[in-house]
A and B are shown apart, each in its own frame.
Chain A
Amino acid sequence: MGAKDASREEAAHIAALEDLQDPGWAWSEYKPSVSAPWDLARVGHLYRRAGFGANWAQLQEALSQGPGPTIDKLLQPQGDLQAFEREYAVYEGSAMSVNDLRAWWVRRMIQTPHPLLEKMTLFWHGHFAINGENVKNTGAMLQYVRALRGEALGSFRSMLNSVCRDPAVLLGVGSGASRKSMPNDNFAGAMLESFTVGPAVCSQTDVSEAARAFTGWFVLRGKVRYIEREHDGGVKRILGQSGNFTGEDVVRIVLEQDAAARAIVTKLYKYFISEGQEPDAKLIAPLAESFAGDYNILKVVETMLRSNIFFSQAAYRGRIKCPVDFALGIVNAFEGMVSTTHLAEDIAALGQDLYHPPTIRGWPGGRGWISSATMAGRSNLAWSLLGGSKPYGERLDPWAVAQKHGASSLESAAEFLVGLLLGDDAADGDCETLIKTVQAAGGAKPQEQLRRFAYRITSLAEYNLC
Chain B
Amino acid sequence: MDYTRREFLRGAAGVSIAGSYVTGAALASKAESGGSRSDKSGNILVVVQLSGGNDGLNTVVPYGDDEYARNRPTLRLPQDQLHKIDSYIGFHPRMESFMRLYKAGHLSIVQGVGSPNPDQSHENAMRMRHTADTEDLYRQRGWLGRAVDNEYPAGRVDAPAVFVGPIARPFALNAGSVIVPSIRSSGDMVAVQIPGQTGAASEKRTAGGDESLPDFVRQCRAKAYANSKRIEAALAGASGSADYPAAKLAGDLRTAAQLIRAEVGIRIFFVEIGGGGIGGFDNHANQKGNHCSLVGQLSESIAAFVGDLRRDKLLDRVLLMTFTEFGRTVKENGRRGTGHGIAGPAFLVGGAVSGGLCGRHPSLTDLQNGSLKMGIDFRRVYATVLDGWLGIESQAVLDKRYEPLDFLDT
Contacts and interface: CB of A to CB of B under 8 A. Distances in A.
Contact of A380 (B18, B123, B192): B192
A336 interface: no
Given A193-B12, A364-B179, A375 B145 contact: no
A189 B5 contact: yes
Contacts of B12: 193, 198-200
A141 to B, nearest CB: 14
Nearest to B211: A276
Interface string A346-383: 00111101001011110010111111111111011001
Interface in A258-289: 276-278
A147 B346 CA distance: 45
Contacts of B349: none
Interface in A428-453: 428-430, 433-434, 437-441, 443-444, 452
A276 B155 CA distance: 14
Contacts of B198: 437
A87 B123 CA distance: 35
A358 B159 CA distance: 16
Given A1-B207, A379-B224, A461-B214, A372 B177 contact: no
Contacts of A434: 202
Contact of B158 (A6, A186, A356, A371): A371
Nearest to A365: B18
Interface string B262-293: 00111000000000000000000000000000
B191 interface: yes
B277 to A, nearest CB: 11
Contacts of A368: 18, 155, 177-179
Given A186-B4, A189-B5, A376 B188 contact: yes
A204 to B, nearest CB: 8
A198 B11 CA distance: 11
Given A174-B4, A199-B8, A358 B174 contact: yes
Contacts of B155: 367-368, 371
A355 B194 CA distance: 34
A462 B218 CA distance: 9
A356 B174 CA distance: 10
B171 to A, nearest CB: 7
B204 interface: yes
Contacts of B176: 358-359, 361, 364
Given A207-B5, A358-B145, A361-B176, A376 B189 contact: yes
Contact of B214 (A348, A452, A465): A465
Given A372-B227, A452-B196, A174 B137 contact: yes
A173 B195 CA distance: 49
B162 interface: yes
Nearest to A463: B217
A136 B389 CA distance: 35
A452 B156 CA distance: 29
Interface residues of A, number: 76
Q: Chain B contact residues: over half helix, strand or loop, or mixed?
A: loop
A134 B171 CA distance: 10
A379 B7 contact: no
A360 B21 CA distance: 23
A438 B196 contact: yes
Interface string A328-356: 00000000000000000000111101001
Interface in A131-152: 133-134, 136
Contacts of A465: 213-214, 217
A372 B141 contact: no
B19 interface: yes
Contacts of A278: 19
Nearest to B24: A367
B4 A348 contact: no
B250 interface: no
B228 interface: yes
Interface string B107-146: 0000000000000000100000000000011101100010
B223 A193 contact: no
Nearest to A455: B194
A395 interface: no
Nearest to B214: A461
B221 to A, nearest CB: 5
A318 interface: yes
A162 interface: no
A377 B266 CA distance: 15
Nearest to A323: B179
Which of A204, A350, A371, A434 has most B Cβ within 10 Å?
A371
Nearest to B178: A368
A185 B157 contact: no
B141 to A, nearest CB: 6
Contact of B223 (A360, A372, A383, A443): A372
Contact of B157 (A1, A174, A351, A372): A372
Given A348-B182, A455-B194, A465-B213, A373 B159 contact: yes
A367 B21 contact: yes
Contacts of A380: 188, 190-192
B410 interface: no
A312 interface: no
Interface of B: 2, 4-5, 7-9, 11-12, 18-19, 21, 123, 136-138, 140-141, 145, 155-159, 162, 168-169, 171, 174-183, 188-192, 194-198, 202-204, 206-207, 213-218, 220-221, 223-224, 226-228, 264-266
Listed from nearest, the 5 A-B pairs whose CB atoms lie closest are A441-B196, A174-B138, A351-B179, A373-B159, A441-B195
Given A133-B168, A373-B181, 19 more contacts: A199-B9, A319-B213, A360-B140, A367-B213, A372-B227, A372-B264, A373-B158, A373-B227, A373-B266, A379-B221, A380-B192, A427-B204, A427-B214, A452-B197, A459-B191, A459-B221, A461-B217, A461-B218, A465-B214
11 contacts: A359-B11, A361-B176, A366-B18, A367-B216, A368-B155, A372-B265, A373-B181, A375-B217, A427-B203, A433-B202, A465-B214
